[in-house]
Chains A and B, each alone.
Chain A
Amino acid sequence: MNVPEEQDASNAPADAVTDPAGAARAEGGHGAVPVAGVPAGSPVPTPASRRDWPLWEVFVRGRRGLSHTHVGSLHAPDATMALRNARDLYTRRQEGVSLWVVPAAAITASSPDERDPFFAPAADKAYRHPTFYDVPEGVQHL
């Protein structure tokens, strides 16, 4: 999964593409991990060169009843085009019945630095898993 890491949208300048380093990294796409400074989807497309196209994260619902699952990312000038690009890139082989696109900058992700405080304490708490009682016969969807 390539959920954006090290994302710090609040500090990212909106016109980060003027920063040469940021602009170069913004060429990731297709699962590349975006870094701070990647220009992300703004409601109003700015007149821009190809390099300025913001990054979008794509979620596909495989079929009715399932939830949308993250499948990757892409560049597009705006939300409408992002949806169409997602259709062409991620549902060519009938993978889905519904698509979401989300500006990558709208995602607040946990930081690798916070990994231990966030996730390690769960490791030794086996009682959080439903393993200490019997599931009655006939219980569905558990």
Chain B
Amino acid sequence: MSTPTPVASSAPAAPAAGGESAADAAVATYLLRLADDALVLGQRLGAQLTRAPQLEEDVALANIALDLLGQAQPLLARAGQLEGRGRDEDALAFTRDEREFLNCQLVEQPDGDFAETVVRQLFFSTYQLLLLQRLVDSADEVLAGVAAKGVKEVAYHRDHAVQWVLRLGDGTEESHRRVQAALQRLWPFVGELFETDDLVRDLVERGVATDPAQLRAAWDADIDAVLTEATLQRPTARRTATGGRRGEHTECFGYLLAEMQHLHRSHPGATW
């Protein structure tokens, strides 16, 4: 069920240039990618509440989920503003369809077991920390602000994941087997994190974005250090998933969106 289904990209993920300019639209698209990563992973982690091994871990995962939600909100608001189509953060989060979401496929992967939750968190937070450390200098003030706040949060997310990978990897035979299997299953989704395209290259030149391809070496070094200490093997990729940044997602994503959006769609504008 985890097999990505590459679909011919017909739906243009980039919003129509209804904003001030095409340049704004490009920034909006870039912010949506970052925001959707945080939003979707936050949704996944939030769904783990009551399912973690211990009550303490429930709270830890929920804290991380809330941090991510807090990052997504201003990014979505800013994207909506630049897009200029009158969509606020709620409209972007709750009324876009699957093909309009630009998150990487890693963050939407389901929590098969706790090891998968932890490994997904290790992969993503290691990447996100490197990314945000560079985005604190972004020319977009909102993005720079979110990055500055996020660096401290994500450093903790990563530490949490590292602690668990060390314990599961170097724990019992069963925990070692499970975390190794999780590494193997999620490894194909790593490559997409470091993909770059014309949109990103253009925004790098304008000082808004940072080139994710340049983060790969540092990511590899960080991950290798953890895996070695945890007595785990670095997986080998049989294939590399791609397409999330263009709105192509894995099968599980539709179910996630349905759960995330159904309340807002059933009762538009509901508050509590």
Residues in chain A within 8 A of chain B (CB atoms): 29-30, 45, 47, 50, 53, 74-78, 80-81, 84-85, 87-89, 92
Contacts and interface: CB of A to CB of B under 8 A. Distances in A.
Given A77-B167, A81-B163, A88 B53 contact: no
Contact of A89 (B56, B156, B163, B172): B56
Interface of B: 53-57, 59-60, 63, 156, 159-160, 163, 167, 171-172
B172 A75 contact: no
B54 A50 contact: yes
Contacts of B53: 50
Nearest to B164: A81
A75 B54 CA distance: 8
A75 B63 contact: no
Contacts of A74: 56
B143 to A, nearest CB: 26
A85 B56 contact: yes
A87 B54 CA distance: 15
A61 to B, nearest CB: 19
A92 B163 contact: no
B56 A88 contact: yes
Contacts of A45: 167
A84 B172 CA distance: 21
A53 B172 contact: no
A89 B167 CA distance: 21
Contact of A92 (B54, B63, B171): B63
